[in-house]
Amino acid sequence: MANDETVVRIFHELLLETNAADRGAAVEALHAAAKVTVWRRDQPCHSVVAGGRVGCLLAGVVRRYCIRSDGHRQILDLLVAGDFLGLVPSSAAFSVEAVSNDTRIASFRPEEIARLVDLHPVISQLLRDRLTAAVRRLEDHLLVQGRITALDKVGGYLMLLRERTPQSGTNRLFLPISRYDIADHLGLAVETVSRAMTTLRRYGVISMASPRELEFQGPAVARDLLT
């Protein structure tokens, strides 16, 4: 049994729109079956999805990436709390790595997932919903990456991050990743990312209390500039 209250909190939030009785039973079953592991920054954590396991990120950030033939890293996806790993088979060419210290992942053996899905239809629906969310996330990223200018790409990327990591309804964003990660996810040079963020600040789209703490100065202004 997982001895981690974040399992209960995360799955309760993910199943919030289901019937209370169904939600309670499903959360209890997930909590009992989960194996929670803790990972350090830059530590490979592919084992959470090895052998057909399914993982749910409880805290921290995880990146999926590959090393291109020219030696450069290409980040394919970034996952935050509530996102799932292992819902589809992953290529051996892709690596999975914790971005932050105290990254926590609840993982389930494939036979456990099959049993939980049979016993709790809401868990089956949850997995479908999270798979749909993953596809939508990748589509949103492709739209941002397909923009013409680096300014549009970086600005759109920051807005997507803000939508995925809301902070009590504010316009603030604490960047959970470095500018190097942003660059490798967008296929840009880190210097280009830094210049774009400086330009966004000069245009009054964002303000920055520190390199990782920023705030959008009026979402309408940001959308006019970046859409």
Is the pLDDT higher at 9 or at 93? 9
Residues spanned by the domain of 196? 146-226
Asked if the model's pLDDT at residue 212 lies above 60, the reply is yes
What would the mean pLDDT of 124-152 be, rounded to a whole number?
93
Could you give the residue ranges of the DSSP H alpha helices within the chain? Answer: 5-14, 20-33, 110-119, 121-145, 150-164, 179-186, 190-202, 219-226
What was the pLDDT predicted at 218?
66
The CATH number of whichever domain residue 177 belongs to comes to 1.10.10.10
> pLDDT tens across 32-52, in order?
999 999 999 999 999 888 889
pLDDT of 118-128, one tens digit each?
999 999 999 99
Scan for tokens 């490979």, then name that residue: 44
My answer on whether 138 and 34 are in the same domain is: yes
| Pair (135, 158) in one structural domain | no
Are 33 and 138 contained in the same domain? yes
Q: How far is CA 24 from the centre of its chain?
A: 25
For residue range 178-211, what is the model confidence (pLDDT) as tens digits?
999 999 999 999 999 999 999 999 988 889 888 8
We report the CATH number of the domain holding residue 111 as: 2.60.120.10
Q: Could you count the other beta carbons within 10 Å of the beta carbon of residue 109? A: 14
